[in-house]
Amino acid sequence: MSLTRLTRAQARRIAVRAQLLDARRRADLLAVVRQLTFLQLDPTAAVAPSADLVAWGRLGAGYQPADLRRALERDRALFEHRAMVWPMSDLRLHLAEMAAWPQEARRREWLRANDAFRRYVLDLLRDSGPLLSRDVPDRSVVPWPSTGWTNNRNVTQMLEFLAARGEIAVADRVGRQRRWDLAERVYPAGTPVVPAPEARRIRAERLLRSLGIARPSLVGEAGEPVEVEGTSGTWRVDPAELGEPFAGRTALLSPFDRLIHDRRRALELFDFDYRLEMYVPKAKRRWGYFALPVLHHDQLIGKVDATADRPASVLRVDAVHQDVRFTPPVAAAVRAELDALGSWLGLSGVDVAPPAAVVGP
């Protein structure tokens, strides 16, 4: 049986529509997170935190960061786990994996050596939680060894490990700092545990639905196999997306947006070359510290080097990198999206660099 063959334009439109970046703005944060499967958390806020940028990109001006916080802390419709925000309804798909963590011998041995410390942390949270990490004394017997920033950060490591095991959870935040509590006080009682193999299968199906089209190495046997013109090998596609109509819009994306997170996929389907450069020395950056990819309909057409200058109350645009030459209507659509972003951020205006800073193809 011959495989369905998609043009790259068809594949791109499937990807954009699955990521809720087509013409129709959504109105329900929880429905957006369920479709995307998760929001990635990152403390970088050169423009806005990534989770908020991703939500704004789908929901528009009707979304406010307080909505995410309320869903996490008051409504418990979402939960934070390992730097991601997940629908609470999907907790059942993670519990088996939590119970089996860690698989790595080094982590198992460190936990075993510090079992008294582990039990102390659980007792402390039971009696006094929720607590910030700084409120937890370090009673480790064996320090955590690392050549990186986690070296001897024993309290932080223990809290992260207990959260990975599903014994504690993030209850809320004070600013950017997490407050920890026993998982039984955060997660709904009686949540069923889906066996690990079944949970992995369901999560792969959910992931494919959120991406629309992906390589089998990412989603396994979920969906149906297809070929995409101009690419080698097979892809997996969500069959519900095949043949669906498409209407696009212009959008500014977080560097962590899942549409472009897989750099190889972005290059294969969109001819889009991108790298997050905040860890690149300034003199070696091509696009900027936190350059925002620009989506126009079914094409990724450039990057915007922007920063929210809150003391001056302006969104500063230091450069607009055009991967393809912007026509006047496209340039107007990008400017309108920048104005919308500045307004949503509560800034007074947008300060766009002079034309000399516009870099063309």
pLDDT tens-digit map of 194-235 = 999 999 999 999 999 999 999 999 999 999 999 999 999 999
CB 85 within 8 A of CB 68: yes
Burial environment of residue 18 by CB neighbours within 10 A (0 to 12, 13 to 18, 19 or more): buried
- Between 129 and 12, whose confidence is greater? 12
Q: Which residues, 6 or more positions from 119, have their beta carbon under 8 angstroms from its beta carbon?
A: none
| Average pLDDT value for residue range 179-204 | 98
Distance CA 170, CA 74 (A): 12
Distance CA 47, CA 314 (A): 11
| Average pLDDT value for residue range 242-252 | 97
pLDDT above 60 for 185 = yes
pLDDT above 90 for 100 = yes
In this prediction, residue 361 carries a pLDDT of 65
Neighbour count for residue 62 (Cβ, 10 Å): 13
Amino acid occupying residue 332: A
Domains of the chain: 21-88 (no CATH), 94-185 (1.10.10), 246-352 (3.40.630)
In this prediction, residue 150 carries a pLDDT of 83
Antiparallel, parallel or unpaired: β 177-182 and 213-214: unpaired
pLDDT above 50 for 356 = no
In this prediction, residue 357 carries a pLDDT of 59
In this prediction, residue 149 carries a pLDDT of 82
Which band of pLDDT confidence, cut at 50, 70 and 90, is reported for residue 355?
Answer: low
| Average pLDDT value for residue range 58-81 | 97
In this prediction, residue 120 carries a pLDDT of 98
pLDDT above 90 for 127 = yes
* 3-state SS class at 133: helix
In this prediction, residue 1 carries a pLDDT of 63
Q: Give me the chain's average pLDDT, please.
A: 95
Q: Which residues, 6 or more positions from 331, have their beta carbon under 8 angstroms from its beta carbon?
A: none
Distance CA 63, CA 58 (A): 9
pLDDT above 80 for 314 = yes
Percent of the chain with pLDDT strictly greater than 90:
93
Residue among 209, 303, 211, 296 nearest 248 (CA) = 296
In this prediction, residue 360 carries a pLDDT of 64
How far apart are the two ends of the chain, measured CA to CA in Å? 42
Of 120-124, 145-149, 167-171, the poorest mean pLDDT is in: 145-149
**DSSP label at 35?**
H
Percent of the chain with pLDDT strictly greater than 70:
98
Q: Which residues, 6 or more positions from 75, have their beta carbon under 8 angstroms from its beta carbon?
A: none
Model confidence, pTM: 0.94
In this prediction, residue 2 carries a pLDDT of 80
Antiparallel, parallel or unpaired: β 358-359 and 314-322: parallel
Category of 68 on φ-ψ map: left (φ > 0), alpha (ψ -120 to 50) or beta: alpha
Distance CA 53, CA 107 (A): 34
